[in-house]
Chain A
């Protein structure tokens, strides 16, 4: 070819190693791809491990009682050992269906009085008032010796509970919103036979909600037994479990499970228990704020 420009460019050639360089680049790209795949796999693995760790941590945090102790009962037992007399008992709650077959304290005592389960040979006096009745029995108690136990029923207890020298409790917050159970208001007083000193007292008050559900309140006083201020166990065996502080600064353990609510508060020799199938936790909190627990548990 006589084209001078052709001859000017002709000596220019690509470097000898061009093809080798290209193949090296191809290999390098393959390695980079493999490296990228490895990085991607490592990232996916790290993500999975991180997710599992988060789930594990979440499980441990939410189930730490079960996780660190074989059972919740074991946890309760340990707390009882560490703080004897201060830890409340623990039990797996029964569900609402099972609870229908259970007898409340009010129902039991009413049935006992009605059926004469107390034992006639021990009864020293019994009688009727216009709106209720009483039974006094004499018996021997391992702890208190000879005692007189007085069982009294009166519908007035549903509105206000009064025990001489011990308690003046306005319960209208309950009576105004629920229907007091007929024959369901019982006060039990245990006194020494000689001096008639009050040794212990229990009040069981029953109410029915508009929907026909239970509400029972129990008050207990015992000169020997110190309920202390319970180290409340918050148990995840329940749907909810919390320590609620009332407006008058009383700590109440509030548990709910399958439509049932339990409330428990104690101070020294006095304790208050509530069980209901007809009130929600927020409604119970509202009621607790109206019950002036600080005056009852002082």
Chain B
């Protein structure tokens, strides 16, 4: 397989993962698109071989988090009406839309651990390595994220 064909295959396999993580971080579709393209560009330019898919995915998530941090530091951040974007998405059930909105209302640090743990299936130890944080801190963040999410959802139900 040529390098380009291999890149296309890897990009197609992981671009949604990258985009979702970026969107979780940035809460903006355009910025998430931008970060996704930059990360894939870095993948294209990367000369180091990956041991396996897990290694590749780990590398992509690290690069995505770093690029998100760069975007976050940028003085120029685009704003977007999240509801407009979320309304374009097709959910299996309406309750998942509310859940996503509730997740997106959390702080960034909680959004990231929620996504990595519940969607990507990473354990606390794996997230600790990805985020370069102590496992205890990640565990606390995950617990608080769950608690706040619960609060947000019950508030919405009461409205």
Tell me the A residues contacting B by CB distance below 8 Å: 3-15, 18-19, 21-22, 25-26, 29
In the assembly, what is the distance between CA of A288 and CA of B95, in Å? 112
Q: Total A-B residue pairs with C-beta atoms closer than 8 Å?
A: 78
In the assembly, what is the distance between CA of A9 and CA of B33, in Å? 16
Helix, strand, loop or mixed for chain A's interface? helix
Interface residue B152 (Cβ < 8 Å from any Cβ of A):
no
* A13 and B89 alpha carbons, distance in the complex (Å): 9
B143 interface contact, C-beta 8 A: no
Would B23 and A12 count as touching, CB distance under 8 A?
A: yes
A3 CA / B11 CA spacing, docked (Å): 26
Please list 21 pairs of residues, one from A and one from B, whose beta carbons are closer than 8 Å in the complex, sorted by A's number. A3-B118, A4-B95, A5-B118, A5-B119, A6-B118, A7-B93, A8-B96, A8-B97, A9-B20, A9-B24, A10-B96, A11-B91, A12-B100, A14-B15, A14-B32, A15-B36, A18-B15, A19-B12, A22-B44, A26-B41, A29-B41
Once the chains bind, are B93 and A14 in contact (CB under 8 Å)? no
> In angstroms, how far is the closest chain B Cβ from the Cβ of A16?
10
CB distance from B127 to the nearest CB of A (A): 14
Are B118 and A22 in touch, CB under 8 angstroms?
no
Contact of A18 among B19, B23, B96, B119 (CB under 8 A): B19
User: How far is B11's CA from A29's CA once the two chains are assembled, in angstroms?
Assistant: 19
B residues adjacent to A (C-beta < 8 A): 8, 11-12, 15-16, 18-20, 23-24, 29, 32-33, 36-37, 40-41, 44, 89-93, 95-97, 99-100, 103, 114-115, 118-119
Chain A nearest Cβ from B70, distance in angstroms: 16
**Residues from chain B with Cβ under 8 Å of A13 in the complex:** 16, 19
With a CB–CB cut-off of 8 A, which chain B residues contact A6? 118-119
Q: Is the CB of B33 within 8 A of A8?
A: no
Q: Assuming A11-B90, A12-B16, A13-B19, is B118 touching A18 (CB within 8 A)?
A: no
| CA–CA, A115 and B32, complex, Å | 112
Contact pick for B91, options A7, A22, A25, A29, CB 8 Å: A7
Please determine whether A4 and B99 come into contact, CB atoms closer than 8 angstroms. yes
Q: Which of A8, A11, A18 contacts B40 (CB 8 A)?
A: A18
**Minimal Cβ-Cβ distance residue in B for A20:** B37
B15 to chain A, nearest CB (A): 4
Residues of B within 8 A of A29 (CB): 41
Of the listed residues A8, A9, A19, A21, the one surrounded by the most CB atoms of chain B closer than 10 A to its CB is A8
B32 to chain A, nearest CB (A): 8
B91 touching A18, Cβ below 8 Å: no
In contact, B114 and A5 (Cβ under 8 angstroms): yes
Residue among B8, B89, B93, B114 with max Cβ neighbours from chain A (10 Å): B89
Q: What residues of A have a CB within 8 angstroms of the CB of B16 in the complex?
A: 12-14
Q: Which residues of B contact A3 (CB under 8 A)?
A: 118-119
Smallest Cβ distance from A27 to chain B, in angstroms? Answer: 11
A185, B114: Cα distance in complex, Å: 115
Which residues of the other chain, B, contact A10 by a CB distance below 8 angstroms? 92, 96
A9–B20 Cα gap in the complex (Å)? 7
Return chain B residues, CB-CB under 8 Å to A12.
Answer: 16, 19-20, 23, 89, 100
Q: Is the CB of A7 within 8 A of B92?
A: yes
Q: Which of B12, B32, B100 contacts A9 (CB 8 A)?
A: B100
Name the residue of chain A whose CB is nearest to the CB of B102.
Answer: A8
A3 to B118, CA, bound (A): 7
Contact B119 A22 (CB under 8 A): no
Query: Smallest distance from the beta carbon of A34 to chain B beta carbons, Å?
Result: 16
Residue of B8, B33, B96, B99 ringed by the most chain A CB atoms within 10 A:
B96
